[in-house]
Homo-oligomer: A and B are copies of this chain.
């Protein structure tokens, strides 16, 4: 029996076991080619089929309208932090950002190289415990940017802010892509590093409305421009084929479970188990995020002392509940319970939280 633990790390993160088992089974021989998917030409018909199935999975699961393109890129969300402003800025118009934590700040930092950045809302004054309400973007912004979910602080948008018709809303969904049903039409661009809620590290998903593809200046390096990859269906150069393959397998499993609406139900059940454990702990566990901003994906809390937190991380690991240490920016504990984390793992964690509290309160 292969040893497996419940992996609560924030990313790279747990993947669906059936996806890993399928990858293992065919690792030496993909689709009876006699070659590994790791060895196969990206110009072969077998790879082409897989590549397009991965795109079709995204389109089907997220109900992506026909006038949006779906791209597989490299370089992570960190690369999109500069590629978004490069591709979407308009001379003389501000780029407007909401600052909800470390990832927003990184995105803001890179945008400043491309023009005027306005931070229209922020929760920094209260250690990013909440998602600002009543966010108001200007009617003349080049675009509006938000971070859909904040892994460090455990906050997530519960409703999406509105923008004027001409102002595309851009969302970094690296840590909450497909965690619940959304209407893609609310967004101009969605981007996500795969390694949290979609697949392994090494590939970035981009969903972009067609009218936004042509803003970038022609007079710039070929790979700066999203439209280079749009024109070639993400095959302008060798794609990170294995990461796309694993993402495809993970989405196959999500489809089998019933798609995004089904996983949303499970995600809400999972999150409720942990938030209840916090709320019913009489202050033993102190939730970091405000109740109205709680993330379905990253549950953050602190304990009375660093010693107790260290003890909890160690005892969790003994029960095969690993990766519970919080990010250094706020310390404490964090349970990342992405789509691929089974309900059973969260039940085990909730039980452990109860027992640990009883023993240490």
Contact = CB atoms under 8 A, between A and B. Distances in A.
A240 B238 contact: no
B237 A240 contact: no
A23 interface: yes
A193 B238 contact: yes
A39 B7 CA distance: 8
Contact of A322 (B17, B34, B201, B238): B34
Report the interface size class on chain A.
Answer: 35 or more
A163 interface: no
Nearest to A78: B237
The prevalent SS among residues of A at the interface is: loop
Interface string A22-35: 01100111001111
Given A110-B221, A202-B202, A236-B78, A28 B20 contact: yes
A31 to B, nearest CB: 11
A40 B200 CA distance: 9
Interface in A106-145: 109-110, 113
A88 interface: no
A14 B27 contact: no
A105 to B, nearest CB: 12
Interface in A151-206: 193, 195, 200-203
Contacts of A36: 15, 20
A323 interface: yes
A339 interface: no
Contacts of A74: 74-76, 79, 202, 240
Given A24-B24, A193-B238, 7 more contacts: A9-B39, A35-B322, A42-B201, A74-B79, A78-B222, A201-B240, A202-B202
23 contacts: A4-B29, A7-B35, A12-B42, A15-B38, A15-B39, A20-B28, A21-B28, A38-B246, A78-B222, A81-B221, A81-B223, A82-B222, A82-B224, A109-B222, A110-B221, A110-B222, A113-B220, A201-B241, A201-B242, A202-B203, A202-B242, A202-B243, A242-B242
Shortest 6 CB-CB distances between A and B: which pairs?
A5-B34, A202-B240, A82-B221, A78-B237, A38-B200, A9-B41
